[in-house]
Amino acid sequence: MPASKKLSATWCEARRNALPALATQTPATPASIGVSFHNVEKRFGSLAALRGVSLEIRAGEFVALLGPNGAGKTTLLRMAALLMNPTRGAVLFTNGPAVISQRVGAQALFVRPKHAIGLVGHSTLLYDELTAAENLTLFARLYALDKIADTVATALDDCGLATRVGSLVRTFSRGMRQRLAIARALLHRPSVILLDEPAAGLDRHGLAWFSARLARLKSDGCTVLMSTHARNESLDLATRAVALAGGRVDNDSGSAGDPRALLAALRTEQ
């Protein structure tokens, strides 16, 4: 395959170039990045998490990823988060028609848009032995944000943890941790937001805050990919619904379509 040969030749150079390029990148990239999956397959040994998923998510779309446990939602999100390489196929990041980064098999090409991606994972991605403020400060530093103290204070205030700034995350309730996890993921103002069951553990009040936060992100033009297997009010924001089953796209309302039918099916299921 000459194409893949060529890719691997440019790969090393791209890797080399990626680091200085990242350093010069501004922390808050303009919010117009889309993600597209091209026939993505992912296997863990003989277990297949994804069996050829093709999805083109345009910049600014709010996609609800639906499907039962084991459908491949988490794997898809982790791949978009650059945490995992597809076994086959490619994951592309697009800026309008231009491809700004892609991963083909085990290879990553061009700059990895790490600055532009935020993930709320299955786990909280927080250090239990650090305080809420210390956790956020750590990530603010790693993302080289400006005015770190202000940014962190604002974020903590926003997620309603201002009174627990100095407490260890270990002492937090499930809902508080989740709120902090969401605040951490959004701290660097990513334009691609990946949410894996973000409502887990949130109470009614937390959910309301979360939905409001998402609505703001949506109006800012962020691309949102949210997986869920249960109904919650933030789903009303979705412009598109994609149902996965057994590692394949089972049903897709499409970029121009109406997600309500699919979402309604989810609701009656519960």
- Per-residue CA distances from 171 to 23, 127, 134, 175 (Å): 36, 12, 14, 12
**Token output for 172:** 């937090």
Work out which of 16, 17, 128, 257 binds other proteins, going by CB under 8 A: 128
Q: Classify residue 246 by its DSSP letter.
A: T
Work out which of 73, 103, 184, 213 binds other proteins, going by CB under 8 A: 184
Number of residues lying near other proteins (CB under 8 A): 45
Q: Nearest distance from residue 151's CB to other proteins, in Å?
A: 15
215 is a contact residue toward other proteins (CB under 8 A):
no
How far is Cα 3 from Cα 82, in angstroms, rounded to an integer? 22
Rounded to a whole number of angstroms, the distance between the first and last alpha carbons of the chain is 47
**Token output for 257:** 């379509």
Q: Nearest distance from residue 59's CB to other proteins, in Å?
A: 20
Cβ closest to other proteins, residue 144 vs residue 200: 144
The crossing angle, in degrees rounded to 10, of helices 204-219 and 174-186 is 10
How far is Cα 5 from Cα 36, in angstroms, rounded to an integer? 22
86 is a contact residue toward other proteins (CB under 8 A):
no
Site track 50-79 with other proteins (rule: CB under 8 A), x = hit: -x--------------------------x-
| Binding residues for other proteins (CB under 8 A) | 8, 15, 19, 22-23, 25, 43-46, 48, 51, 78, 81-85, 87, 105-107, 114-115, 117, 119, 121-130, 134, 138-139, 141-144, 184, 247
